[in-house]
Structure 1
Amino acid sequence: MNTIAETGENKEMNSEELETGQEPIITPEKDEDPLANITGEETMEELMGIYDESFSSFEEGQVVKGTIIAVDKDHVLVDVGYKSEGQISIHEFRDEDGNLDVKLYDKVEVMVEVWDEETETVILSKEKAAKVKVWDAIKDIYEADGTIEGVITSRVKGGFSVDIGLPAFLPGSQADLRPIRNMDEMVGQTYTFKVLKYNRKRSNIVLSRRVILETERETARADTLEAIETGKVMEGIVKNITEYGVFVDLGGVDGLLHITDISWGRVKHPSELFSVADKINVKILSYDLEKERVSLGLKQLTPDPWTTAKDKYPVGSKVLGKVVSLTDYGAFVELEEGVEGLIHVSEMSWTRKVRHPSKIVSVGEEVEAVVLDLKPDNRRISLGIKQTVENPWEVISEKYPVGTVIEGKIKNITDFGLFIGIDDDIDGLVHISDISWTKRIKHPSEAYKKNDVVQAVVLDIDKASERFSLGIKQIQPDPWETVEERYKVGTEISGIVTNITDFGVFVELEEGIEGLVHVSEISKEKIKTPAGHYAIGDTLTARVMNINSDERRIGLSIKRLDEDEDETILKDFAKNMKPTTSSFGELLRDNLQEQIASQENKDEK
């Protein structure tokens, strides 16, 4: 690689030529010393001429060598062999940070900017002399098809600005083999370039890095094609990352590392594991040189973990893993890279009905589980969380035997009953039929609300079906057990009309205890419906006709009550009648006694 080197000869170029980009004028150095030819016979005028000739003569634009002899506030004085020193602006000796970089007696190459013999003024420039040398070097490099190093200083429209001693332009298309995603990353980097073209008059230099990379790639490609073979492990550089895999440069030949061949475990996106320019070792799975397709594998560099899963995770063993994914039906747990097990929602809790696994676990959480089933050939492991603790249904019957009175908070209310929280996430059900002995409850919310604390009796525990039955009404005695004692047949009772139907009238005898007066038992007269005869809220008196405690029914009769009244009147009348001498009186008395006897026989029946 060529770099900008020092020139071994003086080159001169006037300021006009420098601006137009013409070749500098090169003049040979003077080897003769005019003072060496003095004989002593010269006149004063001749001696003054010889003295003047002893000083070098320069032209504007000429590049010469000089020695730094002094530094002041504004200038650096340089001895170039003239009777007066040349001046260079102090700014040309300051670096980017403003620090002065100059030493006395240092040798420097400078270009003559102004040469005025009358005023003996010489203005010099170190920077312009350096530029002349750079242009010469660029010309030599271009003609020799060489390379040059430079630093990318900034981004400009269409590419980059590069410092190679002079500002040069690097088109974006020539910066790399493929489009660059983040061009800012190249700023400040040093690279090697080819000079595509230059124009000294326009101060235009165009560079290319891609040409060098293409040459290097073709050389590497030939070597790679000779070395590639199935099963071989090769080093490559990540070239591009997509959703479905990673393209790896094996050395002029690109191969695809598919996402399924990256790891035995789960990979959501290759960018989680790789970055562009990463160096990785891959295995050649297959290749087709004609179609230039190479399939690569990374996971194949390590054994398949499922080959040893049967020994590592026997059924019944406890394991630790990290939750890596959730679905509606369960949670996937990674036991090791490449080995995942499924915890079904039905295996997450003994007592709770888990609708979604997120209610129990979360992604990234470490959990303990028990191996329920293992099928290495299908790469499946079934796990359970609830098996890590004792099944509360196994001990619940011992803790709460039938007949035990418990107290709990209502957790949920449904159409068919109340769910009461007990402990260990076990809920007991109070069916709507077990809420009250006497009240007709259409919906449990009529009597209770959520979070009410209630007492209930354990009625039954079905461990197989995981059902815990409770009853609230069983805390109190069943009032129907003593109805026959409190409302004996034949007793006259009073109650409030609660309901009227076509077939009879319902009468509340006490809270929750009702009797029915059938339409046929309302009156001696035949009536089609009780409606119009009674109203809800009326007080009604009737006689108890029959009681069925099993079916919770009490039959009442108003008609029989009226008949009893008639019978009483007849009895009183018969008792109060005086003996008569007439046969008619005897006959009437006998007839009344027969009616009374007949009625008594009916009542007994």
Structure 2
Amino acid sequence: MSDATAGTLNPTREEFAQLLQESFHDHDIAEGSVVKGKVISVENDLAVIDVGLKTEGRVPLREFQVPGNEQDIHVGDEVEVYLERVENALGEAVLSREKARREEAWQRLEKSFEKNERVEGQIFGRVKGGFTVDLGGAVAFLPGSQVDIRPIRDVGPLLNIPQPFQILKMDKRRGNIVVSRRAVLEETRAEQRSELVQSLAEGQVVEGLVKNITDYGAFVDLGGIDGLLHVTDIAWKRVGHPTDVLSVGQTVKVQIIKINPETQRISLGMKQLEKDPWEGVEEKYPVGMRVKGTVTNITDYGAFVELEEGVEGLVHVSEMSWTKKNVHPGKILSTSQEVEVMVLEVDPQKRRISLGLKQCLENPWEAFAAKYPQGTEVEGEIKNITEFGLFIGLDGDVDGMVHLSDLDWNRPGEEVIQEYQKGETARAVVLDVDVDKERISLGIKQLAGDPIDSLRGLKKGGVVTCEVVGVKDSGLDVKIADSDFTTFVRRADLSRERSEQRPERFAVGDKFDARVTQFDKSSRKISVSIKALEIAEEKAAVAQYGSTDSGASLGDILGAALSKAQQEAGDDDADETDDTDDTK
């Protein structure tokens, strides 16, 4: 036996280690790597696997089970396992099928993550905040928000079913993988939407399924893409809420109104499939026509009345009542009430009809004018007192106004109005009724008649007797005798003599004669003057008894005139005595 042979049969420790290492290299086996092996036996819950080493390794059968599937391992199967150690204390190789699957899966998933490719997996468990997914050996976390496009209550039908996922995040050091099913669905849906949108055209009529209903309309599934059916496009008539006409799950026929290729939004309409009731509306509802309708909606500014299905008109609050001006429409009309209205205006382009409710009722001003002509006495409650007059409530729920100037013939209205109280009953005379302006003019002073009418025969230049009713620094308030008419005599008109132009020399109740210097019945202006009367009498005396140039005073002339008058009166008495004697 040679020395070389002897060295091989009895190797040293160093030589044995070198031979063992060479044996590992020959089999391409190293600790911490995935190797192939063959199942040589199945014992209880373990599988004995030969990986080509001097010893075999044992792997629990549960590591061969794929989540969601039954375990399927038999003698003779070739499997991949992870070699943790070549030999343990029992002289067996330490193997792991689970780590082998994980290592293999991580390598595969990292490549898919780099390429942004989808991966296949199965949801097999629930954890806090989401679910666990088996990605062929690696376990990933699926957040609850990433399960579906819309929140779903029951994920049971999705468990243990192979399906695609998108990897959102990977961290091998921490063994953390986050995936999304929603991203896959959204991408798929976007592709389907794009294809479906291209196949649709505006004006096309299609069938769809009502998926969801909101206050502003309904979403209709057109077979993979949703379109919005706005509440205003459901019917020509007013629709209070989409649920009044539609229900979830209902199949409807709709027309595509508009497609936005950028946002892929589709607007749908149902009423477009029916005839537009506004066609020929001008001929059907001419201005001035009376028509019956139903109140469908009441707002602050008026009420909408349906004349026929799909055709509504607005009764503005100003056209509701002749007399109720500041009342909410809801206090005059109620929803579903049938009313008669008049067509006031039609605008087919703007799809508007203006209606009037009060036009179908009697105009209270016309009725009042017919029942109470000018000059008629009326009576009513004082509804309001303003700075310019009184408002009196009259028959027909209308008001008449008494202006300050029509309260009293002689006294100023600002003074007289203080004597009236709101809520009192007052009598007045109808002065004028303006139907177009809806105004009724009344007068209280006209109840007694105009005092100026009692001054019959009075004219400018005449002499009247006046009674003092008031003394002022600037003159006298006087009443013309045998009448109720009062006027004012200025200080300068109290006497021809300046020293006698003193109002204080008169007292209330004193009477004197004065000359009428102004008389205008239309403007009700009368002016009287003592001074003018004195001047007129002087002129008359001069004319009768001669000029005053001889030096005679006015007193002398008047004295002579008085003596002559007395002498003539004595002669008259003598004549009467002679006549008596003759009779005897």
- Describe the shift of the 1:392–1:494 C-alpha distance in structure 2 as closer, same or farther (beyond 3 A): closer
Deviation at 1:215, TM superposition (A): 6.1
Deviation at 1:365, TM superposition (A): 7.0
Could you tell me how far apart the structure 2 residues matched to 1:523 and 1:515 are? 17
Task: Give the one of 512, 527, 532 matched to 1:543.
Answer: 512
- Describe the shift of the 1:293–1:245 C-alpha distance in structure 2 as closer, same or farther (beyond 3 A): same
Task: Give the one of 374, 386, 393 matched to 1:421.
Answer: 393
Matches within 5 A, 1:385-404: 385-404=357-376
- Describe the shift of the 1:367–1:293 C-alpha distance in structure 2 as closer, same or farther (beyond 3 A): same
Residue 305 of structure 1: SS of its match in structure 2?
A: coil
Deviation at 1:317, TM superposition (A): 1.7
Could you tell me how far apart the structure 1 residues matched to 2:218 and 2:411 are? 74
Gaps (5+ residues) in structure 1? 1-24, 31-58, 64-131, 155-159, 565-587, 601-605
User: Which residue of structure 1 aligns with residue 31 of structure 2?
Assistant: none
TM-score, structure 1 as length reference: 0.54
Deviation at 1:492, TM superposition (A): 5.7
Deviation at 1:433, TM superposition (A): 2.6
- Contact 2:166/2:181, CA 8 A, preserved across alignment: no
- Describe the shift of the 1:365–1:172 C-alpha distance in structure 2 as closer, same or farther (beyond 3 A): same
Could you tell me how far apart the structure 2 residues matched to 1:150 and 1:514 are? 114
Deviation at 1:210, TM superposition (A): 1.1
- Describe the shift of the 1:516–1:146 C-alpha distance in structure 2 as closer, same or farther (beyond 3 A): closer
Task: Give the one of 463, 467, 470 matched to 1:497.
Answer: 470
Residue 410 of structure 2: SS of its match in structure 1?
A: coil
- Describe the shift of the 1:210–1:273 C-alpha distance in structure 2 as closer, same or farther (beyond 3 A): farther
Could you tell me how far apart the structure 1 residues matched to 2:40 and 2:195 are? 48
Task: Give the one of 488, 492, 501 matched to 1:516.
Answer: 488
- Contact 2:468/2:476, CA 8 A, preserved across alignment: no
One-letter amino acid matched to 1:305: P
Could you tell me how far apart the structure 2 residues matched to 1:494 and 1:26 are? 152
2:293 matched to 1:322?
no
Matches within 5 A, 1:542-561: 542-546=511-515, 548=519, 550=521, 551=524, 553=526, 555=528, 557=530
TM-score, structure 2 as length reference: 0.55
Residue 317 of structure 1: SS of its match in structure 2?
A: strand
- Contact 1:238/1:279, CA 8 A, preserved across alignment: yes
Could you tell me how far apart the structure 1 residues matched to 2:225 and 2:556 are? 136
User: Which residue of structure 2 aligns with residue 432 of structure 1?
Assistant: 404
Cα deviation code 1:177-228 (max 9, x no counterpart): 4xx6xxxx64555563656679999897755331452465257447625642
User: Which residue of structure 2 aligns with residue 534 of structure 1?
Assistant: 503
Deviation at 1:386, TM superposition (A): 0.7
One-letter amino acid matched to 1:370: V
2:193 matched to 1:224?
no
User: CA-atom RMSD, angstroms?
Assistant: 5.8
2:408 matched to 1:441?
no
User: Which residue of structure 2 aligns with residue 368 of structure 1?
Assistant: 339
User: Which residue of structure 2 aligns with residue 233 of structure 1?
Assistant: 205
- Describe the shift of the 1:272–1:201 C-alpha distance in structure 2 as closer, same or farther (beyond 3 A): farther
- Contact 1:407/1:455, CA 8 A, preserved across alignment: yes
2:194 matched to 1:209?
no
One-letter amino acid matched to 2:185: L
Matches within 5 A, 1:94-493: 148=122, 160-162=129-131, 169-171=141-143, 174-177=146-149, 186-187=152-153, 190=156, 192=158, 194=164, 206=178, 208-214=180-186, 216-217=188-189, 220-221=192-193, 224-225=196-197, 227-235=199-207, 250-253=222-225, 261=233, 264=236, 281-287=253-259, 294-307=266-279, 309=281, 313=285, 315-327=289-301, 331-335=303-307, 338-352=310-324, 354=325, 358=329, 366=337, 368-372=339-343, 373-442=345-414, 445-482=417-454
Residue 505 of structure 1: SS of its match in structure 2?
A: strand
- Contact 1:497/1:536, CA 8 A, preserved across alignment: no
* Residue correspondences, number: 434
- Contact 1:506/1:514, CA 8 A, preserved across alignment: yes
Cα deviation code 1:290-333 (max 9, x no counterpart): 88565543432333221264676563222223235444xx5544
Deviation at 1:381, TM superposition (A): 1.6
Residue 442 of structure 1: SS of its match in structure 2?
A: helix
- Describe the shift of the 1:553–1:173 C-alpha distance in structure 2 as closer, same or farther (beyond 3 A): same
User: Which residue of structure 1 aligns with residue 24 of structure 2?
Assistant: none
2:28 matched to 1:28?
no
Could you tell me how far apart the structure 1 residues matched to 2:341 and 2:275 are? 25
User: Which residue of structure 1 aligns with residue 548 of structure 2?
Assistant: none
Residue 353 of structure 2: SS of its match in structure 1?
A: strand
- Contact 1:283/1:296, CA 8 A, preserved across alignment: yes
Identity among equivalent pairs (%)? 37
Residue 457 of structure 1: SS of its match in structure 2?
A: strand
- Contact 2:494/2:529, CA 8 A, preserved across alignment: no
Gaps (5+ residues) in structure 2? 1-38, 45-57, 63-97, 110-117, 538-554, 568-584
One-letter amino acid matched to 2:530: S
Deviation at 1:421, TM superposition (A): 0.9
Deviation at 1:454, TM superposition (A): 0.9
- Describe the shift of the 1:262–1:320 C-alpha distance in structure 2 as closer, same or farther (beyond 3 A): closer
User: Which residue of structure 2 aligns with residue 506 of structure 1?
Assistant: 477
- Contact 1:406/1:456, CA 8 A, preserved across alignment: yes
One-letter amino acid matched to 2:42: P
- Contact 1:499/1:507, CA 8 A, preserved across alignment: no
Could you tell me how far apart the structure 2 residues matched to 1:145 and 1:557 are? 126
